[in-house]
């Protein structure tokens, strides 16, 4: 037969249960609740974001070199943030009027927006037209003429993006059109997530903002390529399976060098030089059949014999000059 509890033991059990319940309630109240958004736009992992940041840091270096030569001023570009946000949040952050260039990536469904702050756009136009970038304009609306001037920079940005993204694959960035109002630059739905990359441009002592906004609903193919690559060994796809030495050698083989064949030397006076006419003959220190010096970028490298090949003047290399013979 089961043991029967006394009334006192029952009261003690009830009191302990009551005390334990209160402690549990207090513990739950003390723990901070973390809100969770079931529409959370984080479809890109932190590792992939780091890869994207590296890509656009390389892009920044290339673009800053171009602007340095075009604007004749010190230019520095920094990636200040790489974020995933809702497209509706991005739309609210864009000024009106704005300077927006929509673009897409060829053979994909990926669309994006290149946003230049109105101050940056007007400064670029002023400098590209010969000014110092400090001109004043009442309206920030970009005129058709200013758009044409900006296309020089925008097209270069598209080219540099293609080069920077080669570590993932061959992607061609194509400009669609200019848009001064974000409401008409619809690249995705308001509830979809976008990848926002923000840059800070320093031109001289002035700083400006530039943004790249990518719709991420079609990013799956790119993200899978990022996941399959190691950050430490990331390199353009076309160089897969090659060494750094092989890549450098390949580029060196395509380098154009200046070749000069020296037919001989002589010494003449200034008076003789001034009186030279068409048909005059200058006697040099070489005879027919003598070997001629062949210089590469003004450096003596070979000896050879002159001749004709397919009715074209040519030189045949007979031997290479050793370092001890120079």
Assign residue 78 the CATH number of its domain: 3.40.1550.10
Residue 75, token pair as written in the block = 């230019």
Residue 245 pLDDT: 74
CA trace torsion 284, 286, 292, 296 (10° rounding): -30
Q: What is the DSSP letter of 185?
A: -
Higher pLDDT, 125 or 21: 125
Poorest-pLDDT segment among 146-150, 310-314, 321-325:
321-325
Poorest-pLDDT segment among 14-18, 104-108, 121-125:
14-18
In a domain, 10, yes or no: no
Residue 281 pLDDT: 86
In a domain, 135, yes or no: yes
In a domain, 9, yes or no: no
Q: pLDDT (tens digit, 9 = 90+) per residue, 279-299? A: 888 888 888 878 888 888 888
Per-residue pLDDT at 126 exceeds 70: yes
In a domain, 23, yes or no: no
Residue 161, token pair as written in the block = 């993006």
Same-domain status, 74 and 214: yes
Same-domain status, 54 and 190: yes
pLDDT band at 141 (very low <50, low <70, confident <90, very high): confident
Same-domain status, 289 and 244: no
In a domain, 127, yes or no: yes
What does the mean pLDDT of the chain come to? 82
Same-domain status, 160 and 306: no
Same-domain status, 260 and 119: no
pLDDT band at 1 (very low <50, low <70, confident <90, very high): very low
> Residue 291 sits in which domain range?
256-268+284-321
Query: Per the structure, how many domains does the chain have?
Result: 2
Same-domain status, 247 and 293: no
Per-residue pLDDT at 155 exceeds 80: yes
Poorest-pLDDT segment among 18-27, 47-56, 107-116, 316-325:
18-27
pTM: 0.60
Per-residue pLDDT at 102 exceeds 60: yes
Same-domain status, 116 and 241: yes
Residue 210 pLDDT: 95
Same-domain status, 244 and 296: no
Same-domain status, 93 and 146: yes
Per-residue pLDDT at 258 exceeds 80: yes
Same-domain status, 247 and 297: no
- How far is the C-alpha of 57 from the C-alpha of 63, rounded, in Å? 10
Same-domain status, 181 and 311: no
* In the chain, % of residues over pLDDT 70: 83
In a domain, 19, yes or no: no
In a domain, 31, yes or no: no
In a domain, 5, yes or no: no
2-25 burial by CB neighbour count: b if 16+ within 10 A, else e? Answer: eeeeeeeeeeeeeeeeeeeeeeee
């Amino acid at each position: 037969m089961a043991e029967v509890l006394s009334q006192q033991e029952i009261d003690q059990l009830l009191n302990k249960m009551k005390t334990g319940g209160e402690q549990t309630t207090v513990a739950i109240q003390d723990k901070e609740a973390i809100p969770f958004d079931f529409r959370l736009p984080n479809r890109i992992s932190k590792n992939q974001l780091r890869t994207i940041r590296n890509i656009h840091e390389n892009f920044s270096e290339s673009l800053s070199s171009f602007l340095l030569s075009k604007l004749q001023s010190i230019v520095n570009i920094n990636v200040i943030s790489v974020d995933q946000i809702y497209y509706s949040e991005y739309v609210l952050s864009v000024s009106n009027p704005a300077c927006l260039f929509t673009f897409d990536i060829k053979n994909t469904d990926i669309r994006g927006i290149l946003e230049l702050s109105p101050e940056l756009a007007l400064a670029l136009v002023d400098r590209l037209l010969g000014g110092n970038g400090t001109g004043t304009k009442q309206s920030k609306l970009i005129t058709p003429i200013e758009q044409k001037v900006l296309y020089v920079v925008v097209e270069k940005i598209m080219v540099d993006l293609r080069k920077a993204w080669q570590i993932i694959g061959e992607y061609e960035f194509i400009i669609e059109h200019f848009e001064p109002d974000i409401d008409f630059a619809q690249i995705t739905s308001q509830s979809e997530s976008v990848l926002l990359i923000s840059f800070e441009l320093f031109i001289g002592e002035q700083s400006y903002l530039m943004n790249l906004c990518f719709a991420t609903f079609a990013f799956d193919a790119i993200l899978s390529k990022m996941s399959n690559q190691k950050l430490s060994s990331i390199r353009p796809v076309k160089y897969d399976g090659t060494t750094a030495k092989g890549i450098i050698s390949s580029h060196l083989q395509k380098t154009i060098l200046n070749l000069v064949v020296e037919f001989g030397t002589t010494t003449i006076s200034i008076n003789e030089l001034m009186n030279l006419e068409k048909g005059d003959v200058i006697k040099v220190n070489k005879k027919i059949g003598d070997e001629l010096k062949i210089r590469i970028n003004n450096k003596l490298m070979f000896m050879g014999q002159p001749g004709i090949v397919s009715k074209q003047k040519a030189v045949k290399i007979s031997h290479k000059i050793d370092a001890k013979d120079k």
